Amino acid sequence: MIAFSSLFAVLLGVLTLYGVLYRLQLRRPRSDEPPVVPAPGIPYVGHVLCMALQGGRYMQQLGLRLQHGDGGGDTIKTLSDAAAARPSSSSTPGIFTLPVPGSRIYLVTDPSLAAAVQRASRALSFTPLVPDVTRRVLGLDDATVRIVRGSNLKVVSSPLPSPSSSPSSSSSSGYTMTSIVDEHTYDESYGFLADMHDMVYTYLGPGGGPDGTLATLTTAAVQALVGEVNAYARDMQTGGSAAATTTTAPAVVDLLAWMKHFVTVGTAQFLYGPRNPLAVQPELETAFWDFVHGLGRLLLVGDRRPGSLAAAWLGGRPYAAREALVAGFTAYLAADAHLPGGNADAGTGSAAAVAANKDNSGSSDIVRRRIAIADRYGWPRASTARSELSFLFAGIINTAVTSFWVVLRLFADPALLQTVRQELGAVEDNNDHIATGTTATASADTLSIDHVKTRCPTLLAVYHECLRLGSNNVSTRLVLSDTRLADRYFLRAGSVVQIAAGVIHTDPALWGDDAAVFDHRRFLPKKEEKENDEATANQGTAPPKRHPAAFRAFGGGKTLCPGRHFATAEILAFAAAVVLLFDAANAASGKRPLHVPPNVPPRNDRVLPIHILEPAAKDVPQVRLRLRRPGRALQVVP
Q: Read off the pLDDT of residues 165-206 as tens digits, 9 standing for 90 and up.
A: 333 333 333 434 344 334 345 567 778 999 999 999 888 877
Strands (E), 136-188: 153-155, 175-177, 184-186
- Residues contacting 596, CB < 8 A, separation 6+: 585, 586, 588, 589
CA-CA distance, 217 to 229, in Å (whole number)?
19
565, amino acid identity: H
Residue 457 has a CB neighbour count (10 Å cut-off) of 18
Residues 298-305: what's their mean pLDDT? 75
pLDDT tens digits along 242-283: 554 444 567 899 999 999 999 999 999 999 999 999 999 999
- Residues contacting 184, CB < 8 A, separation 6+: 153, 154, 155
Residues 299-327: what's their mean pLDDT? 84
3-state secondary structure of 106: strand
Nearest residue to 300 via CA among 438, 136, 465: 136
- Mean pLDDT lowest for which of 90-94, 459-463, 596-600? 90-94
Residues 335-344: what's their mean pLDDT? 85
Q: Tell whether the model's pLDDT for residue 87 goes beyond 50.
A: no
Tell me the CB-side half-sphere exposure of residue 157, using CA atoms within 13 A: 0
Instruction: Determine what percent of the chain is predicted with pLDDT higher than 90.
Output: 60
pTM of the model: 0.86
Per-residue confidence (pLDDT) for residue 189, from 0 to 100: 72
Per-residue confidence (pLDDT) for residue 73, from 0 to 100: 41
pLDDT tens digits along 468-513: 999 999 999 999 999 999 999 999 999 999 999 999 999 999 999 9
3-state secondary structure of 471: coil
CA-CA distance, 513 to 530, in Å (whole number)?
19
297, 298, 299, 305: CA torsion to nearest 10: 140
CA-CA distance, 149 to 389, in Å (whole number)?
20
CA-CA distance, 522 to 53, in Å (whole number)?
33
281, amino acid identity: Q
Instruction: Determine what percent of the chain is predicted with pLDDT higher than 70.
Output: 77
Per-residue confidence (pLDDT) for residue 527, from 0 to 100: 66
Domain borders along the chain are: 2-120+169-197+478-501
Query: Taking a C-beta distance cutoff of 8 angstroms, is the pair 192, 373 a contact?
Result: yes
pLDDT band at 427 (very low <50, low <70, confident <90, very high): very high
3-state secondary structure of 433: strand
CA-CA distance, 267 to 227, in Å (whole number)?
11
pLDDT tens digits along 512-560: 999 999 999 999 997 655 555 444 433 333 445 788 899 999 998 888 8
- Mean pLDDT lowest for which of 28-32, 158-162, 413-417, 540-544? 158-162
Q: Tell whether the model's pLDDT for residue 53 goes beyond 80.
A: yes
Crossing angle, helix 365-376 and helix 192-204, to 10 degrees? 170
3-state secondary structure of 572: helix
Cα four-point dihedral sign 211, 214, 219, 225: positive
Q: What are phi and psi of 174, to 5 degrees?
A: 90, 10
Nearest residue to 389 via CA among 375, 371, 404: 371
Per-residue confidence (pLDDT) for residue 602, from 0 to 100: 96
Q: What is the mean pLDDT of the chain?
A: 83
Q: Tell whether the model's pLDDT for residue 320 goes beyond 90.
A: yes
Q: CA 407: distance to chain centroid?
A: 18
Q: What is the DSSP string of 86-115?
A: ---GGGS-SEEEEEETTEEEEEE--HHHHH
- Residues contacting 327, CB < 8 A, separation 6+: none
3-state secondary structure of 483: strand
Per-residue confidence (pLDDT) for residue 178, from 0 to 100: 40
CA-CA distance, 603 to 466, in Å (whole number)?
11
